[in-house]
Amino acid sequence: MRKSLLDKKRTLKTVLMLALVTFFIVMMIRAIVGAYTLTPTSTAEDLRGLPLWEIPLVYMWDYAQHGWVCLGFAFTVSGLFAEFIPKSFMLKYMSSGKPIAYVIAMLIAPLFCVCSCTMVPLFSGLILAGGGIGPALTFLLAAPANNLLADIVTVQVLGWQIALADIVAAGISAVVIGYVVSRTPWAKKFEQKFQKNQMQATSVELVKEPLDERLWSALKFGGYLAKRIIPAFVVGLVAVSYFQAFFPSELVQTYLTGTLGVVSAALLAGPLYTPTLIEVAIGKALVDLGMTPGATLAWLMGQPYDIPNSLTTSRIIGWKIVITYGILAFVAAVFSGLIYSLLIEIF
Amino acid sequence: MNIKVEVIGVSPPCPRCKKTEENAKKAAAKLEAEGIKVEIAKLDVTAKETISKYGVVATPAIAINGVVKIMGKELDAGVIERLLRKEL
């Protein structure tokens, strides 16, 4: 009797959680199909007339009205991916040292890595396990650009064309850079320190958990991400609101258009340490002020070589390798931006 | 009966690893009250010994008696307790 009551409670819990997930998915599809805008619609003219303290409030309210569906969806789905993607299977392939490791590192791994707190340990783990510096670097470079949370927000804020370009360009350059860096003499020397480890197959034997518990931990992780990311996002929005109101659009139109625009966007994005979501928000403000699509792509791809990130990784792999991949990432960002500008001109 | 629990995390610990470790301690306390000995250790995911033992794992992960049971998520005390009881 008691047991059946417990079962009923669990079923109810599962149904409620599935309902929440479905709700966000349906709302998102509705927004996409109905082509509602999920981004703030305030323009510089709207904002400039307001008292200083009111600007961020109005902007944020504007954002909250449109953005909650997108963010809710992003956090829920990120949680689900983190929970349901078979991690140990992927990690085995990623540390195998075979070419498939690059593919997994580029495509699938970033999906469950939405927080740097899982990224850096995995990166160093891959290297120490003898998986090779190539796939590890590919993973490190692809993760910020191709993670689900960033992708969803990029699609909603900047449009699917630029988001798709970002995913493809960042993916390809991550693989190329990973491979090229792993061929350099100093990377080879570094790799020699770690022989390939033969893992004992018996030491990992994952336990299967019931669905309601898995759903719960997926949602909990989504909530955890929200708690970590939203405060930074709010600070970013405050900055962006002033930016949007007062940044002279002549500056953007001079320096962030054409070939010069691509180069300067790639240069600017690097040292500026901004979490991906804020980078997207600033990107949106710049686009509204007149930044061209090619420059926007270069701006989005400029993330891997920001200074704090490089500092952390240099402790693991040393400055030489960091500088090599930083320069290559900059070249890749400029190159992709130029190609994208060309493509847009043609079509 | 002795059970060995290893919480695999990063150092300095991330919030989720810390939480998992606390919950492992709670679960262990429950079993110890029943006279079962539980030994908890913390492993650094990037330490050489951890990698040669378990390979690359997503953090936080938990290993019981030398076998990784769950990886890549924060665990409740209840879940850890259930895992521990399976070993008895």
As for the ipTM of the complex, it is: 0.78
H-only helix segments in B34-76: 48-54
Q: Across residues A185-213, what is the average pLDDT?
A: 73
Give the residues across from B44 on adjacent strands: B9
What are the beta bridge partners of residue B70? Answer: B62
Closest among A291, A292, A282 to A59, alpha carbons compared: A282
CA distance B38 to chain A (A): 19
Highest mean pLDDT pick, A82-86, A228-232, A241-245, B23-27: B23-27
User: Chain B residues with CB inside 8 Å of A213's CB?
Assistant: 79
Rounded to a whole number of angstroms, the distance from the CA of A155 to the nearest CA of chain B is: 27
CA atoms of A286 and A281, how far apart (whole Å): 9
Question: Are A138 and A171 spatial neighbours (Cβ–Cβ below 8 Å)?
Answer: no
Burial classification of residue A97, based on how many CB atoms lie within 10 Å of its CB (0-12 exposed, 13-18 middle, 19 or more buried): middle
Q: Which residue has the higher pLDDT, A32 or A287?
A: A287
A7 touches chain B (CB under 8 A): no
% of chain A surpassing 70 pLDDT:
88
Rg (Cα) of chain A, in Å, rounded? 22
- Chain B residues whose beta carbon lies within 8 Å of the beta carbon of residue A220: 74
Taking CA A145 as the corner, what is the angle to CA A295 and CA A73, rounded to the nearest 5 degrees? Answer: 110
- Say if domain B2-86 classifies as CATH 3.40.30.10: yes
Per-residue pLDDT of B36-68, as tens digits, reads: 899 999 988 878 788 878 877 888 899 999 888
Q: How far apart are the first and last CA of chain B?
A: 7
Looking at the complex, does the CB of residue B70 fall below 8 Å from at least one CB of chain A? yes
Q: What's the pLDDT tens digit per position in A258-301?
A: 889 999 988 887 766 566 777 888 888 888 888 999 999 999 88
Distances (CA, A) of A279 to A143, A287, A288: 15, 12, 14
Alpha carbon distances (Å) from A20 to A29, A152, A160: 14, 18, 25
B56–A203 CB contact, under 8 Å: no
Helical (H) or strand (E) element with A127: helix A116-128
CA A238 from chain center: how many Å?
Answer: 21
Residues of B in contact with A121 (CB under 8 A): 10, 45-46, 59
More confident site: A52 or A106: A106
Q: Nearest CA of chain A to the CA of B34: how many Å?
A: 24
**Distance in angstroms (rounded) separating the CA atoms of residues A300 and A306:** 12
pLDDT at A292: 92
pLDDT digits (tens, 9 = 90+) for A175-185: 999 999 999 88
> What pLDDT is stored for residue A200 in this prediction?
47
CA A19 to chain centroid: 27
Looking at the complex, does the CB of residue A195 fall below 8 Å from at least one CB of chain B? Answer: no
Helix axes A160-183, A319-346, angle to 10 degrees: 140
Phi and psi torsions of B43, nearest 5°? -115, 145
Of B14, B69, B79, the CB nearest to A117: B14
Alpha helices in B4-76 (DSSP H): 15-33, 48-54
User: What residue in A sits closest to B11 (Cα-Cα)?
Assistant: A121
CA distance A141 to chain B (A): 18
Q: Could you give the CA distance from residue B32 to residue B35 in angstroms, rounded to a whole number? A: 5
CA distance B21 to chain A (A): 16
Domain spans of chain A? 2-31+51-192+200-346
Where are the domains positioned within chain B?
Answer: 2-86
Q: Does a cis peptide bond (omega within 30 degrees of 0) precede residue B60? A: yes
Taking CB atoms and an 8 Å limit, are A91 and B57 in contact across chains? yes
Q: Assess B80–A contact: CB distance below 8 Å, yes or no.
A: no
Alpha-carbon distances of A125 from A133, A317, A328, rounded to whole Å: 11, 12, 23
What is the pTM for the complete model shown? 0.81
Task: Check A91 against B83: CB less than 8 A apart.
Answer: no
Of residues A39 and A47, which shows the higher confidence score? A47
